[in-house]
Structure 1
Amino acid sequence: MSKPNKKQPTKTVEIYCSKCKTLLFKYRKGGKGALVKCFKERIVKDMTVTPCHCPGCDCEFARDTLVRGTPAYKIIGGKVTMK
């Protein structure tokens, strides 16, 4: 399996909790598709206190996993929105 691109994407998106609209991450997203996973090395600013849990409503929005040998958060469908 191939690793994610070494060159970081230039487009930065803000990721919010769907339930309480709390800002979770500022993330460098590549491509124009839906947000399925967040590579930890691409997170610019992390607002969460405990990993994968919203600081506002304490709901779990992702799972900690390895994707192509790189640490990432696998997003649970419908739990986050991005702008």
Structure 2
Amino acid sequence: MAKPNKKSPEKSVDIYCSKCRAPLYKYKKGGKGALVKCFKARIVKDFTVISCVCPNCAAVFARETLIRGMPAFKMIGGKVTFK
């Protein structure tokens, strides 16, 4: 399988917990679809203390995995929102 582009996209989005609205990540997202996965290399700023766990309400919002050979977080549906 092909790896994602080396050059990160221009557009940056803020990712929040759906439950408590706490900021989780500042992320370079490509495309205009739903947020399904976050490649670790594209995360600009990380607000979490423990990976995949909200620092405010301790809800698990993602799972660590390898996608196309790169480490990523696979988001659980409905647990995060982004702007």
- TM-score by structure 2 length? 0.99
Indicate the percent of aligned positions where both proteins have the same amino acid.
Answer: 70
CA RMSD of aligned residues (A): 0.2
**Structure 1 runs, 4 residues or longer, greater than 6 Å off:** none
CA distance in 2, matches of 1:7, 1:43: 13
- Count of matched residue pairs: 83
Aligned residue type for 1:38: C
- SS of the residue aligned with 2:81? strand
1:69 maps onto 2:77 in alignment? no
CA shift for structure 1 position 59: 0.5
Aligned residue type for 2:29: K
- SS of the residue aligned with 1:45? strand
- TM-score by structure 1 length? 0.99
- SS of the residue aligned with 1:64? strand
Q: Which residue of 1 aligns with 2:20?
A: 20
CA shift for structure 1 position 27: 0.1
CA shift for structure 1 position 29: 0.1
Any unmatched runs of 5+ in structure 1? none
Q: Which residue of 1 aligns with 2:78?
A: 78
CA distance in 1, matches of 2:47, 2:56: 10
CA distance in 2, matches of 1:60, 1:16: 12
